[in-house]
A and B are shown apart, each in its own frame.
Chain A
Amino acid sequence: MSALAVYAGLGWRRWSAYRTAAAAGAFTNTVFGLIKAAITMGAIGAAGGILAGYDALTGATYAWLAQALIGPVNVFTWSELAERIRSGDIAIDLARPIDPQAGYLAADLGRAAFQLVPRAAPPLMVGALVTGLALPGQVLPYLLGLVSVTLAVVVSFACRWLVNLAAFWLLDLRGVMTLYLVASNLLCGLVVPVHWFPPWLAAVAAWTPFPAMLQHPIDIIMGRAAGPDALVLLGEQVAWALGLLVVGRAVFELGARRVVVQGG
């Protein structure tokens, strides 16, 4: 357990070393937030003031929260593991006295913990100034939200872990990663809220883990899902996180059997 804490600490330190990169990421998230909030408010205005339960202010809040969570949850691609598999460095991870999946997950949680404030605060502050934010006044949604964001990081990690494992069987993963990016970004609610989807697309999204990466935590933080509804969403996140981690572990073991370590 203490080894995992060290990994989490290393994840934090590694990402906190590049301050300019964090600032640049937050800046880009904020500029996209300005565009996204304007599109969202424009669409809600065109729909007559309310669209799928969002008015202009809650719609803008959704856009800003999505931008704030991009960094910590990491809804984009990650290819570090795939590169280690391709280069053979994965053999070193296999030789370590710590479970590789647990080690990488701990490091990713450390990364997310560091990025939570520097990547989320700037878009939210600009959002509060430019459009205003509709956030609940009680403490509970934020506490549940923090749990939900943590679970979202785990679900996101478990998905990225699985995509990376394809490197055991494929030489070039760029196409696979791009297709993953497309599916996840649409279905997690980054592009538009899942609640805006036409029924057939909403049904597709409900069968994937992607809403658990972004839509669920935002619903909980904004108080759209409160009380028992919030607990259902959290339960869904836990189920996805555990299920995907177990599958990821099985696939990793299958792939690791293909690794041939040369002596020397």
Chain B
Amino acid sequence: METLTELIQNSGLANLDWGNLVMFVIAGVLIYLAITKNYEPLLLIPIGFGTILANLPLAEMGAYDNGIIALIYKSGIKTELLPPIIFLGVGVLTDFRPLLGRPITFMLGAAAQLGIFVAALGAAYLLGFTYKEAAAIGIIGGADGPTSIFLASQLAPHLLGPIAVAAYSYMSLVPIIQPPIIRMFTSKKEREIDMPQARPVSKTAVILFPIVTGIIASLAIPSAAPLIGLLMFGNLLRECGVTERLRKTAGGALIDIVTLFLGLAVGATMAAEHFLTWQTIMILVLGAFAFAFSTAGGLVFAKIINLFLPGTKKINPCIGAAGVSAVPMAARVVQKFVSDQTNGRVNPLMPAMGPNVAGVIGSAVAAGIFLSLLT
């Protein structure tokens, strides 16, 4: 009888508290959204299940425990290994031609990082977060999951779970968040600006781009090199045309394997005692502000650029909203919005892809600068 009592007392069931149950519900919501709404399923499912594992009492399956997930967390996230490998795959999967064909859209990708800095300032001065925490929260505005994880794991590892969940949740909510902001900042006339096709780009230029960008960005901001360097290496594998096997692996099996481990380990940081805090709610609110300001930043800067462009060269300011780096969703949102507003006459998908991929570079650079200045 004593043995049976001891067995019961040592079971997870006997040690379950309300916090674990709340986290099971949150995990269920993430998994539900991934399956039924198709919101970032490749990440929300591993994150959701990682959350369940982390909240099983006595199972030692949390990122901060001593089990297998902790091993993945310590060796994959704390060491900065996994996010750059995701960037390698992103580089393979990204076509930078729309950006190269219209280099002016580099600037829209920069302007759309505004939300990062607005959210960081709000977090520090309005809500009392430390500078490092504020910067890690602000990067949510970059709309880039791996970058958010990369920076949070360095500056505020205790906030990694909420920051990652906010980043990926808002990325999946781009189709809901962005259209009202685009509508607010653009006129009917501006939405009807039809942009000509970008100039064609030679294979030589496409191959030189990752090499030149990798060198220049890494020389300027060395702490951004893990992200930018591997992003550009992946893009070179894509464009050089002689590394088909490496391209397929980096853009397929490798990114999938890393996504599994990354999602699971991030989810496992969401043990109840770390996640169920006021800080998490504040991070979610700040994340929404970050996204809104980033979208607005891109839109407003596109309008400013138009002040200096002749009539035939004007850009459709809506593509500025795609400067947040949720690739390719932000560009698709802009395309759908403009097309709907103009009854299908104007379709700026390819022009919007320019700032969209520039935003990936912009958010990685912003993360690197924060690392340089705050560590």
Partners in one complex: no
